[in-house]
Chain A
Amino acid sequence: MSTRTEMPTLPAAPPKPTKRTERRAARARRIRESRTDRIFLFCVYLLLAVFLVVVLAPLLYIVASSFSSPEAVSAGRVLFWPVDFSLRGYHAVFENPQIVQGYLNSLFYTVVGTIVSVTMTVAIAYPMSRRTLVGRNVVMTAILFTMLFTGGLIPTYLVVQSVGLLDTRWALIVPQAIGVWQVIIARTYFRTAIPEELVEAAELDGCGDLRFLWSVVIPLAKPMIAVVALMYAIMQWNSYFDALIYLKNPDLFPLQLVLRNILILNTTGGGAVDASVVIQRQQLADLLKYSLIVVASVPVLLIYPFVARYFTKGILIGAVKG
């Protein structure tokens, strides 16, 4: 890209009436881009195309490999399109009891965790948004402070241990039930979307705070609640660290921890019989990794395009100070 800052050329220069077609001349007149600008814009498109390819290439490679035959993957013949199309990798994934159990566990953690988190977040964020509540600034500061300073891994672990959550399903749900960021998003939304006049009107009609929250605020805040719920759900689906430190029982492991054991620690298990079987098993184990990556990411990536717009809005609400 040219970083040279040329003197701006006269933008109003009419296009030369030469061999150009009518349409192109008309377009040039309308946009009135100087040549430097057009070159610059071309560089911008080029840059974006590079971004696109760089992000997309590894994804395509993984997906293509997951649909190829074990031999083709091991021989390194797969690039961005499946070679010898086969579903053997996916068969292997769904035949593995660990993976299926992990999938079900993750589903449970995601659903229950999200419900708990959203409820708690609304319960703290809504009162924080009401201007007539005394003491909310003190509480808010105390909440925000937890973003800046934490006790650390071991002190938190000891708390989880002493409340008896260790090695239970709740260990993955309760200790990270509330995200401060989500509280900020919810509070800001409540504050900007629910006008104070509405509260007053409801009060005059004899509507209590809880009823107001339930029948006015929550219906009005549905888009925000959806965003926050999604943030929690994705966090829950993708997390593995809490499971790593709090869980010992493999039956409770979420998918991500199973993934780590298979993909990174390479523990597919199984005793070897003879050389050709070993090679075959190795090839299948390699293929399984690609398919597993796809299987684990699909739920999140499937819903993502539909909610991306709202998600963006959520980030923006959270980014506003105050």
Chain B
Amino acid sequence: MATLTTIRPPAGETPARSRRRGRRERPGIKGLRRSLRRHWTLYLLMVVPLIWFVVFKYIPMSNAVLAFKSYNVIKGIWGSPWVGWQNFDLFFHNPVFWTLVKNTFVLSLYTVAASFPIAIILALALNEVRTGLFKKTVQLVTYAPYFISTVVVVSMTILVLSPRLGIVNEGLGFFGVPSVDFLGNPDYFRHIYVWSDVWQTTGYSAVIYLAALAGIDPALHEAAKVDGAGRLRRILHVDLPGIMPTAVIILVLAVGNIMAIGFEKAFLLQNPLNLSESEIIATYVYKTGLLNADFSGATAVGLFNSVINLALLLMVNTIAKRVTGNGLWS
């Protein structure tokens, strides 16, 4: 068993690496000037997209100073008076603070915990089946919901679960269970959110693992077969270790996105009845910021969210690198 798990495909140098590579860039100001003269058209090409990145990505980052100011429309972002940590203080002492943090965390952890293994299981199962109509059908069908918009998926969820029309309540009624107002009950919100997400994205996520599985050296499988390993054993000792690097990266990204959990879906699924479970940081930012026009307060909440998110990403990446040797950047 141990021998099987440690076998890895030989990490040979790709031929491209040893290939002669023409005149390479020369670093430093001198190299830059030379490069500019030679490739000025390429630099010109980059100008518009780079301006775009500055305007729509980096200026918003600098606009985040609003979190430390009391926004005044007339004075603008930089002219508004500084207030220090006041906006954060207000948020931390707001009675909804812990509810928001908890809802956001629980919802996204639950999502990761549910969708991560299921995608792997789907990919492993598909990988066992020889190419054929059945395999193609399963792949095509499970992949399809990814292309349906969030609005439509949420609408479908609401329709299917509706107490008046929904097929689910119809089915429950068949067994004599009284109809349930799934979306009106906060207890069900998380399950609805997570499982509709799984329904939508599993097929798509499985594709990445399928590719990783296809990249596993067939010799490993042959060797395992010769050693008498059955299908299950080969999955456990060849396939799983083979997709580990991919899985780790996906997991890191997923955990790193914990605080950035989909605004769209939570917002669409929430209603006044399930708000106690469905209000997450992102929806709160939207409501305080754009609906109540408290720009500074909402920016502070958003900044808190971004920082936690970045910290989580870096932390998980470090842990993953220590434990498995794989990380986002190596």
Inter-chain pairs besides A76-B170, A154-B66, 9 sampled, C-beta below 8 Å: A36-B230, A45-B134, A126-B45, A132-B35, A132-B38, A154-B299, A197-B22, A301-B148, A321-B329
Q: Which stretch, B89-97, B99-107, B300-308, touches the partner chain A?
A: B300-308
What's the least CB distance linking B270 to chain A, in Å? 10
* Residues of chain A contacted by B26 (CB below 8 angstroms): 134
Q: Which residues of A contact B (CB under 8 A)?
A: 3, 5-6, 8-11, 34, 36-37, 40-41, 44-45, 47-48, 51-52, 54-56, 58-59, 61-62, 73-74, 76, 79, 120-121, 123-124, 126-128, 130-135, 139, 142-143, 146, 148-159, 163, 174-175, 177-178, 192, 196-197, 199-200, 208-210, 213, 234, 237-241, 245, 256, 259-260, 263-264, 286, 289-290, 293, 296-297, 300-301, 304-305, 308, 312, 315-316, 319, 321
- Contact assessment for A37 and B230 in the assembled complex, using a CB-CB cutoff below 8 Å: yes
Within the complex, the shortest CB–CB distance from A257 to chain B, in Å, comes to: 8
Q: How many positions in chain B have a CB within 8 Å of any CB in the partner chain?
A: 106
B64: shortest Cβ distance to chain A, in Å? Answer: 5
Mark contacts of B137-160 with chain A using CB atoms, 8 A cut-off: 1 yes-contact digit, 0 otherwise. 110111111011111101110111
Residues 49 to 95 of chain B near chain A (Cβ within 8 Å) = 49-50, 52-53, 55-64, 66, 77
User: Contact: A132 with B22, CB < 8 Å?
Assistant: yes
Whether the Cβ atoms of B60 and A151 lie closer than 8 Å is yes
Whether B147 contacts A234 by the Cβ 8 Å rule is yes
- Knowing A48-B129, A315-B207, the reply to whether A260 touches B303 (Cβ < 8 A) is no
- B residues lining the A interface (CB < 8 Å): 16, 19, 21-27, 31-32, 34-36, 38-39, 41-43, 45-46, 48-50, 52-53, 55-64, 66, 77, 121-122, 125-126, 128-129, 134-135, 137-138, 140-145, 147-152, 154-156, 158-160, 165, 167, 170, 199, 202-204, 207-208, 211, 225, 228-233, 236, 246, 256, 263-264, 268, 282, 285-286, 289-290, 295, 298-299, 302-303, 305-306, 309-310, 313, 329-330
Are B228 and A10 in contact (CB-based, < 8 A)? Answer: yes
For B126, the chain A residues whose CB sits under 8 A away are: 48
